[in-house]
């Protein structure tokens, strides 16, 4: 039992005792339930002898933050507790978007609520909308404020009105909490630059290069091309400051307990805007230690759990998403281990599945995906994944090298092949992507590009080749079909639902030209949306209607909720990926052919995993039964089936 389940029990017992309306009573019970863990975590990070006063400051801060939470949201917190793990529901289907690029501003976004409802979207991840520096700002991830809305998007009132409208329409909202760093224009940074030693201690600042040089011996470079190194000299302070991401993003010093207490306040300011899920950005980097990579350290996990234990007391209806794009075995840890099991983040990005899907497209085989997903430990029952094929960021190739070797490949050569496949270095590849942040020191690199262009649609349209156009469309739908049926919340990237191609206009934008991730950050094409269904053979129409059908089917079948009921079957055909979703006595098998040739599965094997082949089962996607050929089930190139016995 994790702490969330304990709070749920306490809330239900309070209702039985007729004191459920006393929000303060329930707050005190949550505090009593969590205070021992809060104390343990706090003093494991900050020695008790020196920091006892800060612990009492933290308790005072928690009380003040609860008092400041709007009553409407406090009541919603209790509803969420009573509803159980609402975020694991089969009804959850998300979309990630930039507000300004989707439809100008917050009010423009509100106008498009019917569009989301038509497609079946009820969970929105809005990219950063708070104030940021003019010019380069890492797409808003260099924050000047954690809760003030940038004027280009509207006002705070606009957002509060939008959040209320979203709640009325049973739509959930997610915003980013940039927890690792601020911009160099943030109020603490400005005070530090003016000579405040107190605020210089909110960051990692050094008068000379001695300690920075020691850090550099082991710290990797996040952006080796545009921001090499991990420290920047600030002339106003006459000091070096740690800047692991960009020169204008200053890493916060969580070794200082004041930073944690202040950031908890910033977290709640964001939550009080009416946000349901808070995405902890770059949380793997939170704790820095000499002689290490300063990523995924035990102290970082303790810090995240401390945030969550405090948040549960103040606002138990708000949950956390771990933005940890790390090695497969490390991702699981962000749900919590040991005394923190189930007590870190409720949600994490399934970056492993994402990378493995792109690997399977390039290799035309599901072998590495099968091995990787079956050998990674299960997540806790109360956690869930964000499953996605594309996001605003680059695609990192986070494969486990041991698994690649086990498949008979050299990890370095394999990664180079994948990079070459997607970035135009293989003449036969239909993919049109770009290389992002290639590091010649180790041959590492990442990939940018829209899903449709990476899956060959841009090339196919240029060639006017109907066959490879159909292949590209099938790949787009197959990839989305997997994230819609695999355990977790599917997150569609805005524009992918209408098969948007690469946007090369970033090359003419002075603020974007040095960051080719903007090639997959397009402006939503509402002319294309308006023309949907006018031309049935249009790729945008086929993809939109295909996704709409799959989303509807997902919501109609409770077995697609995330209860860890995903059984991956070791398919004898290396090109086909097969898994089964079950609920009580009901099952659906999802079969995906990653090859450009028709592949077959023997009836004997299908029967062995429970499929009643032939006329005794149907494909939910088409509502058609199957015709076996020579006692085998054929799967066309890039075809996907959702099989249900009848």
Cα(207)–Cα(8) distance, rounded to whole angstroms? 50
253 SS3 class: coil
- Catalytic-residue membership of 281: yes
Q: At 509, phi and psi to the nearest 5?
A: -105, 120
Beta bridge partners of 385: 348
Q: Which of 77, 100, 276, 323 is the catalytic position?
A: 323
Q: Crossing angle, helix 466-485 and helix 351-363, to 10 degrees?
A: 150
Q: Under the phi-then-psi rule, with left for phi > 0, alpha for psi from -120 to 50, and beta for the rest, what region is 424?
A: left
> What does 532-558 look like in DSSP terms, one character per residue?
TTTSTT-HHHHHHHHHHHHHHHHHH-G
C-beta of residue 382 within 8 angstroms of C-beta of residue 85: yes
Q: Which of 138, 281, 394, 580 is the catalytic position?
A: 281
Burial 395-432 (b: 16+ CB within 10 A, else e): bbbbbbeebbeebebebeebbbbbbbbbbeeeeebbbb
Instruction: Name which of 540, 396, 391 is nearest 472 in CA terms.
Output: 540
- Catalytic-residue membership of 221: no
Cα 247 to chain centroid, rounded: 25
Instruction: Name which of 395, 346, 304 is nearest 92 in CA terms.
Output: 346
Q: Which residue has the tokens 């787009």?
A: 476
Instruction: Name which of 346, 319, 347, 340 is nearest 38 in CA terms.
Output: 340
Active site residues: 281, 323
């Amino acid at each position: 039992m994790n702490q969330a389940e304990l709070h749920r029990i306490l809330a239900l017992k309070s209702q039985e005792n007729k004191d459920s309306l006393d929000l303060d009573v329930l707050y005190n019970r949550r505090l009593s339930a969590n205070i021992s863990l809060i104390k343990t975590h706090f003093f494991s990070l900050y020695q008790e002898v020196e920091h006892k006063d800060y612990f009492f400051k933290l308790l005072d801060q928690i009380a003040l933050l609860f008092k400041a939470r709007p009553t409407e949201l406090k009541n919603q917190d209790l509803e969420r507790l009573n509803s159980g793990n609402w975020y694991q529901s089969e009804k959850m289907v998300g979309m990630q978007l930039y507000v300004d690029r989707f439809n100008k501003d917050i009010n423009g976004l509100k106008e498009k609520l019917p569009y989301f409802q038509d497609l079946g979207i009820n969970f929105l991840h809005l990219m950063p909308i708070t104030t940021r520096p003019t010019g380069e700002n890492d797409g808003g991830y260099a924050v000047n404020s954690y809760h003030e809305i940038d004027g280009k998007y509207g006002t705070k009132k606009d957002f509060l009105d939008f959040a209320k409208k979203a709640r009325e329409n049973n739509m959930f909202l997610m915003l980013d909490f940039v927890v690792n760093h601020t911009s160099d224009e943030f109020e603490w940074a400005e005070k530090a630059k003016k000579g405040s030693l107190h605020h210089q201690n909110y960051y990692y600042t050094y008068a000379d290069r001695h300690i920075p040089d020691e850090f550099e011996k082991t710290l990797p470079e996040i952006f080796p091309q545009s921001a090499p190194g991990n420290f920047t000299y600030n002339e106003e302070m006459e000091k070096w400051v740690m800047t692991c991401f960009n020169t204008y993003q200053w890493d916060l010093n969580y070794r200082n307990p004041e930073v944690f207490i202040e950031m908890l306040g910033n977290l709640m300011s964001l939550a009080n805007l009416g946000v349901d899920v808070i995405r902890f950005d770059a949380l793997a980097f939170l704790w820095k230690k000499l002689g290490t990579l300063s990523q995924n350290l035990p102290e970082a996990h303790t810090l995240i759990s401390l945030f969550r234990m405090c948040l549960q007391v103040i606002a138990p209806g708000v949950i956390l998403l771990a933005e940890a794009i790390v090695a497969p075995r490390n991702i699981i840890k962000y749900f919590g281990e040991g005394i923190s099991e189930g007590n870190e983040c409720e949600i994490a990005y399934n970056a492993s599945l994402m990378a493995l899907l792109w690997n399977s497209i390039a290799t035309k085989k599901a072998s590495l995906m099968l091995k990787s997903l079956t050998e990674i430990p299960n997540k806790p029952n109360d956690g869930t994944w964000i499953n996605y094929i594309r996001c605003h960021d680059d695609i990192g190739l986070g494969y486990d090298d041991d698994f690649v070797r086990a498949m008979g490949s050299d990890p370095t050569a394999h990664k180079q092949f994948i990079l070459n496949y997607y970035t135009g270095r293989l003449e036969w590849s239909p993919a049109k992507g770009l290389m992002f942040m290639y590091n010649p020191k180790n041959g590492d690199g990442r990939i940018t590009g829209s899903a449709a262009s990476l899956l060959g649609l841009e090339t196919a349209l240029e060639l006017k080749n109907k066959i490879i156009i159909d292949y590209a469309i099938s790949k787009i739908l197959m990839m989305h079909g997997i994230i819609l049926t695999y355990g977790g919340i599917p997150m569609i990237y805005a524009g992918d639902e209408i098969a948007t191609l690469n946007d090369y206009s970033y090359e003419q934008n002075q603020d974007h030209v040095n960051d080719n991730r903007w090639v997959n950050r397009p402006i939503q094409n509402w002319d294309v949306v308006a023309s949907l269904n006018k031309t049935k053979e249009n790729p945008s129409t086929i993809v939109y209607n295909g996704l709409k059908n799959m989303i509807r089917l997902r919501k109609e079948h409770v077995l697609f909720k995330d209860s860890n009921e995903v059984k991956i079957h070791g398919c004898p055909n290396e090109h086909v990926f097969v898994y089964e979703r079950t609920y009580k006595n009901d099952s659906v098998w999802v079969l995906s052919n990653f090859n450009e040739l028709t592949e077959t599965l023997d009836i004997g094997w299908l029967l062995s995993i429970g499929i009643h082949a032939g006329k005794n089962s149907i494909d939910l996607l088409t509502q058609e039964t199957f015709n076996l050929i020579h006692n085998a089930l054929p799967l066309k190139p890039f075809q996907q089936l959702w099989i249900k016995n009848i």
